[in-house]
Amino acid sequence: MKRVLPVLLALFLGSSAYAQAPGGNAVAPTPANAGQSVPVAVPDSGSNAPSAGSAEPGSGSATNGNNQATSGSAGTGSGSAATSNAPAPAAAKGPQPKAWYDVLADKPMVRTPADLVKLEATFKAAKAKHVLLYDIMTERSEITTRLQRELSMLPGLFGTLEKGTPANPAVSEASVHYFSKIVAGVPLKRPEWFFDVRQEGEGIVDVSTHLVDLVQWEAFPNKAVDRSDVTMLKARRWATPLTLTQFSQLTGASAFPAYLKRDVRNGVLHVFSNGEMTYRVKGVVAHVSVTWVYEAPEGSGDTHFSVMRGTKARLVIRQGAAQDYQPALYIERNPSVPAQKFDAAVLAALMTLQERFSGIGVRREGDVWAVTIPGSYDVGHEAHFAEVTNRFLDYLRGGEMPEWEVPNMLTKYATIMKAYTMSGGH
């Protein structure tokens, strides 16, 4: 049944977003409140009509109290949020009813084990109140990742996903990021709190959210994964050192703020932005790694590496110098499969892909097939935020999400918390 409710697109980088909390006022995260839950409820006006500062479900836009479109950004993410310029209503005596909002929130929704408990309660409340809570997983929209997932679902080419071992995982996701980078032609300035892992979240918690999500989404497509399916095998964290000069170049600040002093040793800031974990999920061994470095080599940028090992083929995404730092997908033959049979399977898989992805091709590079992707599919990372928003709005129109989404979000964050605890996080 379709609902007529306000939609709040909450993009809270580095903070947990919850569907309701006492007080009823939306609060943006700041260094002062970043360690607290962020309430996103408003007093109920008693009307079934959308309130000022809300958007009709499915409209894809938000308005302020003057019915003007609004937009905003937080940290390194971007997006829109419903706001209002209307004066606050006079406070009434006695208990106040609260409206419940559908929430689209940036990652991570959990930074500590205590946050996970809150998130569990929030999902239960959201279900009872018939509202949706969803996090922004933009990496699912990246074209090489989408094609990797599609090819892994073709048994004639891929076979079945291997179980793997800790030394040779069946699924690996690794990314390298840089604090200093050029965005839209200018050096990116980061807020000082970005380097406080107590506010931003450690590396094993923050960017790892995307990678753990990809493991579940690709290895077990359209299936629910329970936290009991996950066994953490090993996890570790390590810091990236930043001198005051580097910190100043990144933020414009002339000194480390007081809340970072505990992480400064001998004049160098140590940011626990790196982490890796190896775990078993539904019997499959997976490995996730996130690394942050101060500055990228000239001409390079953030990189992503991914591999899925099947009984017939390996599907590998590389993004190094050989790929001009652009993600590229390769299909590699398992030695147990005859070359001629493998080539035929690749061409058959291509025909299947082209039914949904027009213009996709393959090119032989030695013993490997490279997937060729038209430039029209390279829409850029920022466009992926819009794609996730559209997916969320589709869920709103239907009144529900796929049944596996909520359990998999909870399992994703539970997995990360297991790694965070094992690694000795703050």
pLDDT tens for each residue of 146-169: 999 999 999 999 999 999 999 999
State which of 103, 136, 169 marks the end of a domain.
Answer: 136
Place of tokens 């810091």: 239
Number of residues that this document lists for the chain: 426
Per-residue pLDDT of 41-83, as tens digits, reads 333 333 333 333 333 333 333 333 333 333 333 333 333 333 3
The band of 308, judged by pLDDT with boundaries at 50, 70 and 90, is very high
- The verdict on 290 and 201 lying in the same domain is yes
According to DSSP, residue 160 is labeled: S
Q: Do both 39 and 90 map to the same domain?
A: yes
Does residue 112 sit within a domain? yes
Q: Provide the CATH number for the domain around residue 262.
A: 3.30.360.10
Residue 91 domain-assigned (yes or no): yes
* pLDDT number for residue 298: 79
Structure tokens at 125: 């409340």
- Residue environment code for 63-99, b if the CB has 16+ CB neighbours within 10 A, otherwise e: bbeeeeebeeebbbbebbbbbbeeeeeeeeeeeeebb
Question: Are residues 66 and 154 part of one domain?
Answer: no
Number of helices and strands in the chain (H, E): 9, 19
Tell me: do 111 and 159 sit in the same domain. no
Domain span at residue 352 reads: 139-388
Rounded to the nearest integer, the mean pLDDT of the chain is 82
Name the DSSP class of 141: G
Q: Taking the mean position of all CA atoms in its chain, how far away is CA 294?
A: 22
Identity of residue 374 = P
Highest mean pLDDT: which range of 52-56, 299-303, 340-344: 340-344
Q: What is the DSSP string of 299-337?
A: T---EEEEEEEBSSEEEEEE-SGGGTTS-EEEEEE-TTS
Residue 413 lies in a domain: no
Check if the beta carbon of residue 341 is closer than 8 Å to that of residue 157: no
Two structure tokens written together for 135: 């996090």
84-88, 100-104, 194-198, range with the lowest pLDDT? 84-88
- Choose the final residue of a domain: 101, 136, 171: 136
347-358 mean pLDDT: 97
CA distance 233 to 422: 9
Lowest mean pLDDT among 67-71, 340-344, 359-363, 364-368: 67-71
Residues 131 and 166 in one domain: no
Q: Residue 93 — pLDDT band, cuts 50, 70, 90?
A: low
Residue 135 pLDDT more than 80?
A: yes
Q: What is the CA radius of gyration of the chain?
A: 23
- Are 108 and 204 in a shared domain? no
72 is a domain residue: yes
Q: Under 8 Å CB-to-CB from 364, ≥6 apart: which residues?
A: 370
Residues 179 and 318 in one domain: yes
Does residue 249 share a domain with residue 344?
A: yes
Does residue 156 sit in the same domain as residue 126? no
Nearest to 39 by CA among 108, 101, 127, 116: 101
* 130/145 same-domain check: no
- Say which range, 38-47, 87-96, 201-210, 325-334, has the weakest mean pLDDT: 38-47
Asked whether residue 331 is domain-assigned, the answer is yes
Asked whether residue 26 carries a pLDDT value surpassing 60, the answer given is no
291 and 162 both lie in a single domain: yes
Are 362 and 230 in the same domain? yes
> Does some domain include residue 217?
yes
Q: Does the structure show a pLDDT above 60 at 20?
A: no
Tell me, yes or no, whether 416 lies in a domain. no
Please state the pTM of the whole predicted model: 0.79
In this predicted structure, what is the pLDDT of residue 95?
57
Judged against a pLDDT cut of 50, whether residue 283 lies above it is answered with yes
Asked whether the predicted pLDDT for residue 255 surpasses 90, the reply is: yes
How many distinct structural domains can be found in the chain? 2
């709103």: which residue's tokens? 396
Flag whether 245 is in a domain: yes
